[in-house]
Amino acid sequence: MREKEFSDQELDTHDFLGGKLQIRQPRAGYRSGSDTVLLAASCTVRAGQSVLELGCGAGVASFCLAQRAPGVVLHGLELQPGYAALARANADRLGVALTVHEGVVERPPKDLRALTFDHVIANPPYFDANASTATEDDGKDGAFRTDISLADWVDCGLRRLREGGWLTIIHRAERLPDLLSALQTRAGDIRIKPLASRTGHAASRIIVRARKGSRAPLSLCAPLILHDGERHERDEISYSPAAQAVLRDGLALDF
């Protein structure tokens, strides 16, 4: 658990959206990457709407949304006080109005429970607390492993949504049954976007969007292929044109 604030010596500045955003993140600790940007790109927010980011970390997804939809009302919920403070500091530097609440998804703070949102987005930890992925950095470990169930993340998101609002989650593909089970009877118009590293590879991650209270049928969308070619050439990332449009140009992800 990262309790204390980060010092300047513990932070670096990282570029997002092709350099349109410069966001401070820990040198050693959890750092947001392409999954966070893809999550933000999957949220169909419009100017004037409200968004809650569960587990906001340094605030990267929220800042990507602000870049694409100026005037959006942004809130974040973060368990680790050090990362919550960093998100607030990043918001001040960028001139973005982001309200960061501290607490856990099973028991959000009272001020957050009083609010509802048009959208809730989340990138929950990918592994259970007993998974063999522990790291020496407690902040990174808290972002990758959790003893909070995926159903609790979904429940928190749906409770904070207004009727007809959208919940958007990115996770490992193998957890799709758990996500669908948690959404059952409470949301519909579920749209599943597989993410594959290359053509011919199985999807390792999925983005799921669901509308609270809807009874519309489920849709399995065309996959996003992240990289061109069969393998990385030298040190080049080789993003596909579709991935570049999202990760570098800041466009919305087509569902």
Domain residue limits, the chain:
8-247
Phi, psi (deg, nearest 5) at residue 177 = -60, -40
Q: pLDDT-derived band of residue 139, with 50, 70 and 90 as boundaries?
A: very low
**φ and ψ at residue 164, rounded to 5 degrees:** 90, -5
Taking residues 241-245, what's their average pLDDT?
A: 96
Taking alpha carbons only, the member of 98, 44, 88, 34 closest to residue 69 is 44
DSSP string, 47-89: TT-EEEEET-TTSHHHHHHHHHSTT-EEEEEES-HHHHHHHHH
Place of tokens 């530097």: 93
Q: Is the separation of the CB atoms in 144 and 164 below 8 Å?
A: no
Among 179, 126, 172, CA closest to 157? 179
The mean per-residue pLDDT over the stretch 123-139 comes to 63
Predicted confidence (pLDDT) per residue in 21-42, tens digit: 999 999 988 999 999 999 999 9
- The one-letter amino acid code at 47 reads A
Local confidence band at 246 (pLDDT 50, 70, 90 cut-offs): very high
Could you tell me which residues come within 8 angstroms of residue 158 by beta carbon, excluding any fewer than 6 positions away? 120, 167, 183, 186, 187, 212
Interval 50-54 mean pLDDT: 98
Are 98 and 160 in contact by the 8 Å Cβ rule? The answer is: no
Give the three-state DSSP class for 22. Answer: strand
> Which of 72, 86, 104 lies closest to 31 in space, CA to CA?
86
Compute the chain's Rg from CA coordinates: 17
Q: Which two tokens stand for residue 69?
A: 């939809």
Residue type at 54 in one-letter notation: L
Q: What is the mean pLDDT of residues 100-106?
A: 97
For the chain, the distance separating the N- and C-terminal CA atoms, rounded to the nearest angstrom, is 36
pLDDT band for 229, please (50, 70, 90 cuts): confident
pLDDT-derived band at 230, boundaries 50, 70, 90: confident
Contact 135, 54 (CB under 8 A): no
Provide the pLDDT for residue 129. Answer: 47
Calculate mean pLDDT across residues 41-63: 97
Q: Tokens in use for 59? A: 């605030």
Per DSSP, the three-state class of 125 is coil
Query: Which segments within 144-204 are labelled E, that is strand?
Result: 145-146, 161-172, 187-196
Q: Which of 147, 151, 160 is nearest to 110 (CA)?
A: 160
Q: Which CATH fold would you assign to the domain 8-247?
A: Rossmann fold (3.40.50)
With cut-offs at 50, 70 and 90, classify the pLDDT of residue 127: confident
Query: What is the structure's pLDDT at 155?
Result: 98
DSSP code, position 198: S
Share of the chain above pLDDT 90, in %: 84
Structure tokens at 218: 């489920």
